[in-house]
Structure 1
């Protein structure tokens, strides 16, 4: 049976995962620093052609890659959140269904879809639960433009 503390921790981590998605999709990238990631977090987006690095490197990558001009709209839909809490740390695996609208060179746009998993480590901080490590695992890609290396 789960303790009340573990139930609370799981809900707080779930909210953290959803907050990450909200900030990414609303392009409030700088807010990831204070609201989502630990100061010493390590983030690995290489499974879908992204950066690997610390918070500063990740934020710089995301601000360059997720511009409104290139990606007018996206949704990071999270499900199957599996969390294992151990005191002030936790591990998680989160499914993400990610449709992305991408501007095309001809002036039009296309929508492609990514299926991926986030493999996370979380840490309780004075500000609440934060992501200490996030690694993406690619599951599938549908309708990505030919020039993309996914």
Structure 2
């Protein structure tokens, strides 16, 4: 049986995961620094063609790649949030279904569908739970243009 503290921790971490998705899709990227990641977080988006690095490097990558001109719309839908907590740290595996509308060079738009997992490590901080490590694990990609190399 789970303790009240563990139940509370799991719900807070689940909210953190959902908050991450909302911030990315609403392009409030700078808030990832204060609301989502620890200062020393390591983020690995390489499985889907992205960056690997610290928070500054990750924010630079996201700001450059998730522009409204390139991706007019996106959704990060998280499900199957599996969390394990022990004291002030935890781990998780989170399913993400990520449809993105991409502006194509010919002026048309194409919707890309991606399925991936986030493999996370969490840490309790004075400001609440934060992601200290996030790694994307590719599951599948549908309808990506050839030049994307996914």
Q: TM-score range by the shorter chain?
A: over 0.9
The corresponding residue for 1:37 is 37
What's the CA shift for 1:146? 1.1
Which whole-Å CA distance do the structure 1 matches of 2:139 and 2:69 have between them?
Answer: 27
- The residue number in structure 1 matching 2:10 is 10
Deviations 1:58-77 (Å, cap 9, x if unpaired)? Answer: 00000000000000000000
Shift of residue 44 of structure 1? 0.1
- CA shift, 1:57, in A, is 0.2
Q: Which runs of 5+ in 2 are unaligned?
A: none
Q: How far apart in 1 are the matches of 2:43 and 2:71?
A: 21
**1:149, CA displacement in angstroms?**
1.2
Residue pairs, 1:35-114, within 5 angstroms: 35-114=35-114
Deviation at 1:136, TM superposition (A): 0.2
CA drift of 1:14 comes to: 0.2
Give the structure 1 partner of residue 143 of structure 2.
Answer: 143
Distance of 2:67 and 2:106 partners within structure 1: 18
Deviation at 1:37, TM superposition (A): 0.2
Q: 1:108, 1:22 → 2: CA distance?
A: 26
Aligned partners of 2:126 and 2:67: how far apart in 1? 32
- The Cα of 1:104 is off from its aligned counterpart by 0.4
